[in-house]
């Protein structure tokens, strides 16, 4: 099913990026949770007033709730969680297949008694496992820091759902990267789709937040399916979960199929 | 039984590129030299054998298994040296060999270590910083270390110095003695004539011929460059008329001889010879010798058109 030595080698190749992204997330998450302190809330509002309204909306900071969950959802899950792990996903997805094909090292992998399917499954598995681990650590640290600073303030069920929603969003995003990686011979093209599309989604997401006249843009970005409002209100989020799971399955399955059957320029 | 069978493979990339209705087989224990100029379709053929490409028509088999469908099974018995060497970033030589051993489920590393010794490779260095020759040695060790029955080597001696080329030729002969079946490609006749039993020549995607190496050698015209003591002696030698192919250049003469050189030696005995040298023939010249000038001219105009 999976190749253990390849998984190990892929881990060695990628752990530095993983640690850097995790470190930046770990730097921001406690700072943002700490800012919830009601005594500093006014200062924060003052500070935000200085900035142009459009910019604040674009970052998803506009509908700050009065609860800790709402606060974290808009300040951390509105922008940072979309940007930082996305960088990790783009790099690792491109390295998973396309970069091996581009460089020619895939010729070595395929000259061992491992099928193309097994190699692609191993790389897909690494993507899914590592992004789960990354967001899992964020979830656990988020809960620990919140409980430590503001005991019993965090709606833990809501926070878990919010993180599950994020994880499913990332399953779909890694799916795009993996599919692009399987489809193209060149890193250049793989990145054009695998990085271009998620970045475009993020830009469209930021635009669609800025006003009602451009709100229709939300139908053109996958990030709309990470809807913290629905989770905070406790209803209507299920459909987003289902769509993301189906997307992820389709993208990974197509990637595997394409890679198994296409001609490789090795 | 044929170990490697190519049954009428066509892979058309358009623009006369690709391979067309290729048909040949390599028998057990045979070393097959696959010869052709750059871009003739050698690597495309090898990619089919490795299962990287699906042919438009026809099929390829190794050990009776389909190269495209059963490639993982075939790889248990196959060693492959790609034309270009690329590895994981930052891997050291030994890391790579260990990694490839693990990917193959290889438990016994004694042959690997013997090969490292034989090629005097320093495996401690990072691959990225290795010279072309060192990378080539690493690739060779990787292809041979699991003692496979079948070997497919794409331009194996490129980047190797003459000493290492000899060591490599020795390794091929050893493996042949063990009954291994070997297919190796090259663009130079000299490179493979020492080790191969049979040679297939490919040009513009079509197999021109497969021929026993001994037959080729007897058919082969060799050029000798003879320098005399003066231009006068050279022209006097040219006038003896015993050879139809003499080109004069000052005091030196280029003579083409088919087969045995005894007659040339006898003819030279009456003259003062300062220097006697063999000229290496390019593949184009080898073509010209075997198939007459028409093929090469047609080839040259075709290539000229592409350029």
In SS3 terms, B165-180 reads as HHHHHHHHHHHHHCCC
CB contact residues (below 8 A), chain B span 36-65, against chain A: 47, 50-54
Residue B306 lies in a domain: no
A110 interfaces chain B, CB cutoff of 8 Å: yes
Domain presence at residue B304? no
Is residue B285 one of the residues assigned to a domain? no
**Whether residue B103 sits in one domain with residue B186:** yes
Choose the final residue of a domain: B198, B217, B236.
B217
**pTM surpassing 0.90?**
no
**Number of domains, chain B:** 2
- CA distance to partner chain A, nearest, from residue B79 (Å): 7
One domain, residues B225 and B212: no
Statement to judge: residues B77 and B36 lie in one domain:
yes
Domain end, chosen from B171, B201, B217, is at: B217
Same domain, B140 and B243: no
Residues B210 and B228 in one domain: no
CA distance B38 to A214: 56
| Residues of chain A with C-beta less than 8 angstroms from the C-beta of B53 | 263-264
Q: Name the maximum alpha-carbon separation found in chain B.
A: 70
Q: Which residue of B has its CA nearest to A113?
A: B72
Helices (H), B105-180: 110-119, 132-144, 162-177
Residue B69 touches partner A, C-beta closer than 8 Å = no
Q: B267: domain CATH number?
A: 3.30.70.1560
In angstroms, the CA B283 to CA B39 distance is 13
Residues 96-135 of B with CB under 8 A from A: 99-100, 102-105
Same domain for B24 and B96, yes or no, is yes
pLDDT tens string for chain A (266 positions)? 899 999 999 999 999 999 999 999 999 999 999 888 666 566 666 667 777 777 777 766 655 556 888 888 888 888 899 999 999 999 999 999 999 999 989 999 999 999 999 999 999 999 999 999 999 999 999 999 999 998 888 899 999 999 999 999 999 999 999 999 999 999 999 999 999 999 999 999 888 888 778 778 888 888 888 888 888 888 889 999 999 999 999 999 999 999 999 999 87
Q: Residue B232's domain spans which residues?
A: 221-279
Examine the domain organization and report whether B204 and B236 are in the same domain: no
Do B174 and B236 belong together in one domain?
no
**Best mutation site among A109, A112, A261 for testing chain B: the one with the most B CBs within 10 Å?**
A112
A230 touches chain B (CB under 8 A): no
Work out the minimum CA distance from B106 to partner chain A, whole angstroms: 10
Does one domain contain both B111 and B35?
A: yes
Q: Please indicate, yes or no, whether residues B125 and B241 belong to a single structural domain of this protein.
A: no
Cβ atoms of B146 and B87 closer than 8 Å: no
- Rounded Cα–Cα distance for residues B252 and B243 (Å): 15
| Same domain membership, residue B127 and residue B54 | yes
**How far apart, in whole angstroms, are the C-alpha atoms of residue A57 and residue A121?**
40
Q: What is the ipTM of this complex?
A: 0.83
Please check whether residue B292 lies inside any domain of the structure. no
| Number of neighbouring beta carbons within 10 Å of residue A61 | 17
CB atoms A5 and B99 under 8 Å: yes
Distance from CA of A29 to the nearest CA of B (A): 32
Please name the member of B80, B85, B99 whose beta carbon is closest to the beta carbon of A111. B80
Contact B100 A108 (CB under 8 A): yes
Structure confidence at residue A55 (pLDDT): 73
Among the partner-chain residues B75, B89, B90, the one whose CB lies closest to the CB of A112 is B75
CA distance A123 to chain B (A): 14
For residue B158, being part of any structural domain is answered with yes
């Amino acid at each position: 099913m999976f190749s253990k030595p390849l998984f190990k080698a892929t881990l060695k190749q990628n752990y530095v990026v993983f640690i850097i992204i995790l470190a930046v997330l770990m730097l921001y998450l406690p700072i943002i949770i700490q800012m919830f302190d009601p005594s500093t809330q006014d200062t924060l509002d003052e500070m935000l007033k200085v900035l142009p309204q459009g910019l604040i909306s674009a970052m998803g900071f506009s509908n700050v709730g009065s609860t800790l969950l709402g606060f974290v959802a808009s300040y951390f899950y509105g922008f940072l969680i979309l940007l930082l792990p996305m960088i990790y996903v783009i790099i690792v997805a491109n390295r998973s297949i396309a970069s091996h094909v581009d460089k020619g090292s895939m010729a070595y992998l395929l000259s061992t008694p491992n099928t193309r399917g097994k190699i692609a499954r191993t790389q897909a598995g690494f993507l899914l496992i590592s992004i789960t681990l990354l967001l899992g650590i964020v979830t656990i640290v988020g809960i620990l820091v919140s409980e430590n600073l503001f005991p019993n303030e965090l709606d833990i069920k809501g926070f878990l759902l919010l993180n599950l929603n994020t994880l499913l969003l990332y399953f779909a995003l890694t799916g795009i990267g993996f599919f692009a990686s399987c489809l193209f011979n060149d890193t250049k093209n793989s990145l054009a789709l695998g990085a271009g599309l998620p970045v475009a989604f993020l830009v469209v997401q930021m635009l669609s937040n800025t006003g009602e006249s451009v709100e229709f843009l939300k139908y053109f970005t996958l990030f709309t399916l990470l809807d913290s409002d629905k989770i905070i209100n406790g209803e209507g989020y299920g459909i987003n979960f289902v769509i993301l799971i189906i997307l992820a399955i389709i993208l990974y399955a197509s990637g595997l199929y394409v890679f198994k059957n296409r001609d490789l320029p090795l | 039984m044929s170990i490697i069978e190519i049954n009428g493979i066509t892979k058309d990339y358009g623009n006369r590129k690709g391979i067309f209705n290729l048909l040949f087989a390599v028998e057990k224990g045979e070393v097959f030299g696959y010869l052709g100029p750059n871009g003739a379709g050698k690597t495309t053929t090898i990619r089919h054998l490795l299962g990287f490409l699906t042919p438009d028509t026809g099929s390829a088999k190794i050990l009776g298994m389909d190269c495209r469908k059963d490639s993982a099974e075939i790889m248990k018995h196959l060693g492959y040296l790609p034309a270009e060497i690329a590895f994981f970033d930052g891997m050291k030589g030994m890391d790579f060999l260990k990694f490839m051993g693990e990917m193959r489920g290889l438990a016994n590393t004694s042959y690997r270590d013997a090969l490292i010794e034989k090629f005097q490779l320093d495996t401690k260095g990072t691959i990225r910083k290795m010279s072309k020759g060192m990378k080539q040695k690493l690739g060779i060790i990787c292809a041979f270390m699991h003692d496979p029955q079948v070997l497919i080597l794409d331009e194996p001696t490129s980047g190797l110095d003459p000493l290492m080329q000899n060591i490599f030729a020795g390794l091929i002969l050893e493996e042949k003695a063990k009954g291994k079946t070997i297919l190796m490609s090259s663009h130079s006749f000299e490179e493979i004539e020492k080790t191969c039993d049979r040679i297939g020549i490919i040009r513009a995607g079509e197999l021109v011929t497969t021929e026993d190496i001994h037959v080729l050698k007897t058919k082969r015209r060799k050029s000798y460059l003879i320098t005399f003591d003066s231009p006068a002696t050279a022209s006097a030698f040219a006038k003896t008329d015993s050879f139809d192919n003499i080109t004069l250049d000052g005091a030196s003469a280029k003579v083409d001889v088919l087969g045995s050189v005894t007659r040339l030696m006898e003819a030279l005995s009456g003259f003062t010879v300062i220097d006697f040298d063999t000229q290496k023939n390019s593949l184009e010249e080898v073509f010209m010798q075997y198939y007459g000038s028409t093929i090469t001219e047609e080839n040259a105009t075709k290539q000229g058109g592409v350029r």
